[in-house]
Amino acid sequence: MFDLNEKPPLVSLAPMAGVTDIPFRRQVKAFGGQYCVSEMVASDQLARARIDMVRRAAGSGVISPLVIQLAGRDPAWMAEGARLAEAAGADVIDINMGCPAKSVTSGLCGSALMREPDHAMTLVEATVNATKLPVTLKMRLGWDDKSLNAPEMAKRAEAAGVRMLTIHGRTRSNFSAASPIGPRSHQWLKPSPSQ
């Protein structure tokens, strides 16, 4: 099993739908990239064997470590997605709470979960409890400047068993703006006492 403590990624390739497919991740690995995350995989569609989601989750024996990013809004589907990803050879499961796309957030997935911390934590717990693999989480600072709840959600995710957090330095409302909301957003980023 891949050990995040033994070999923590200092730099990782962010998952991007339509970009971080297997050929792209192989190229990144060939140039020395150590931690490359798959395209976002909809957990319910993976469970229904939708071919594009199965293709996004592929890579066992080709990409190592194989990090599969799951997205969803239903704890049962997230758990099933985690089990299927593990069975497909994943080394790490990553949960998406960072995607700002309207097509994702309108379905209460991706960064929309930053508006629903309690619901988001049911997804985290279901995913962690469904697999023996390390589970990581990608999220934003919050939904907007008035709801910078990443510190609270990070603590709760760690308590639920998340092994590594990646925080996109913008809110969903910033979308992919040229500059993040500013240095104040990073004041709380300190190692946890448990590390």
CATH number at residue 53: 3.20.20.70
3-state secondary structure 100-167: CCHHHHCCCCHHHHHHCHHHHHHHHHHHHHHCCCCEEEEEECCCCCCCCCHHHHHHHHHHHCCCEEEE
Higher pLDDT: 130 or 44? It is 130
Assess if residue 138 is contained within a domain.
yes
**Boundaries of domain holding 125:** 22-172
93 close to 46: Cβ distance less than 8 angstroms: no
162 close to 169: Cβ distance less than 8 angstroms: no
Assess if residue 111 is contained within a domain.
yes
Which tens digits make up the pLDDT trace of 143-163?
Answer: 888 888 899 999 999 999 999
Assess if residue 183 is contained within a domain.
no
Phi, psi (5° rounding) for residue 96? -95, 115
Assess if residue 104 is contained within a domain.
yes
Assess if residue 13 is contained within a domain.
no
Assess if residue 59 is contained within a domain.
yes
List, by residue number, the catalytic residues. Answer: 99
Residue 7 predicted with pLDDT over 90: no
57 close to 93: Cβ distance less than 8 angstroms: no
Assess if residue 10 is contained within a domain.
no
Count how many domains the chain has: 1
What are the residues whose beta carbons fall under 8 Å from the beta carbon of 55, sequence distance 6 or more? Answer: 21
Assess if residue 162 is contained within a domain.
yes
What's residue 94's pLDDT? 95
125 falls in which pLDDT band (50, 70, 90)? very high
